[in-house]
Amino acid sequence: MTTPRLKSFTWRLSQIPEETSKDDILNYFDTDDRERIKVISLYPDASELGKLTATLLFKPNPDQPFDSPKRLPTAPEDIEIDKEFEGLTTLYCPPRGQVIAADVIAITGLTGHAFGSWAKSENFMWLRDFASKFGPSTRVLTYGYDTRLEGIDTSMTILADQAKAFLGQIKFSREARKCQKRPIIFIGHSLGCLLIKRVGNAMVEARDQYFALPVHAIIFMAAPHRGMNIKALEALVQGEPPQTLVRELERGSPTLQDLAERFPRVLGDIPVLTVFETKKTQTVEKAQEPYALIISDFGLTECQGPDGKWVRSGERVFMVESHSAKEYSQNERQICSNENHSSIAKLARNSNNIVFNSLRAFIAEILPKSIDALDSVCNYPLYIYISKYADTLCVPHQDTSDVFGI
């Protein structure tokens, strides 16, 4: 059997003391691991004042392909390392003292990963590595949540519950950083797009102005506004409770109808950029024979096993057809991507990348308006509210350690 190439993994290191350098971080780890660790980014934590968050690229030892970097006992005790990337993670922040004109917040899709779903390769993740090209005044964050289908033991409605949790996370983060007025540009992929819409509809449900999000623009990538091909997803759940979640994405589902009816009224004239797929996606199926198990955090790239694992070896289908991916709002621009449903969000390191250049131009148009809005009190195109009842549904302040990795 041919031994697959060993993959490097991206890890998140959080609760790093302020004034720590990248070289200092390397000294947190075992000497044998340091030569296989590369600190890629180091920026202020999304929520914690006086703390930093870093992303590390770690190539494990061939004898221990799933091992994590070994932290020394001398490292600060409250340092946390993980590769799940749940909650908000800062991927880029302007230099200290520079005005931040807007927060760009990216939200992943079903069975996605808050970092890996946006990564073209183990060495390049455009939201982090090309973030400064959006404009030097933007802070870029990614939001991760549990989007697994296999193994979930609850029949919760993922959109409603996850939207409440997401709003709670943003409330905590922006209050901690005292940037409640800072404009937001959302980027959603697949299910993440519907989560953004569900957040918008929360404004309609609220009875008082408990919390407002100043959303200035939205970018939808492969959004299943009118449903998606759920046949491939049903194979993953096989009648288990997560099937309830999949049914929310079925064409004509009550959830999608509700979003479609109410979101346009909330959206108003908010600028929207829609990116839709033009290639079919190879579906997943159970492996029928054992394979070598090497999985990277940026997606399925090789046959994986052992027996019983899921591999991309099924038929090719359009997960979201173009008519379903378009919002058809009055202030929407539409561009096609020569990618499938998964790779549409994994932009390449290419200066001629049409999708990235379109995103950059779109955000550049928004930023001057965002800078002007920083000095105004309520000059936002859109307010999104949560009622006070939301606090009983979101993660309480004292219980955010698992989500924020602190």
CB 270 within 8 A of CB 306: no
Per-residue pLDDT tens over the stretch 103-138: 999 999 877 899 999 999 999 999 999 988 877 689
Closest by alpha carbon to 103, among 401, 347, 366, 327? 366
Bridge partners, residue 310, by sequence: 286
Cα–Cα distance measured from residue 182 to residue 124, given in angstroms and rounded to the nearest whole number: 28
Q: What is the CA radius of gyration of the chain?
A: 21
Q: Check: CB of residue 66 under 8 Å from CB of residue 111.
A: no
* Low-confidence residues of the chain: pLDDT under 70: 1-5, 136, 148-158, 203-212, 232-245, 286-312, 351, 369-406
Q: How far apart are CA 9 and CA 37, in angstroms?
A: 10
- Omega before residue 214 within 30° of 0, cis: no
CB 89 within 8 A of CB 12: yes
Predicted TM-score of the model (pTM): 0.84
Nearest CA to 395 out of 404, 406, 385 is that of: 404
CATH for 84-280+318-400? 3.40.50.1820
The upper half-sphere exposure of residue 291, i.e. CA atoms within 13 Å in the direction of its Cβ, equals: 18
Displacement of CA 98 from its chain's centroid (Å): 25
pLDDT at res. 290 = 47
In a 13 Å sphere around the CA of 399, the CA atoms on its Cβ side amount to 8
Q: What is the pLDDT of residue 203?
A: 61
Q: How far apart are CA 30 and CA 67, in angstroms?
A: 13
Predicted local distance difference test score (pLDDT) of residue 39: 97
User: What do you get for the CA distance between the two ends of the chain, in Å?
Assistant: 42
The helix/strand/coil state of 257 is helix
Q: Which sequence spans correspond to the domains of the chain? A: 7-83, 84-280+318-400
Q: Which pLDDT score, from 0 to 100, does residue 234 have?
A: 62
Secondary structure of residue 73 in the 3-state scheme: coil
Per-residue DSSP letters for 370-386? HHHHTT-SS--S-----
Distance from C-alpha of 128 to C-alpha of 41, rounded to nearest angstrom: 8
**What residue has token string 């829609």?**
274
CA distance 338 to 277: 6
Whether 222 and 325 have beta carbons less than 8 Å apart is answered as yes
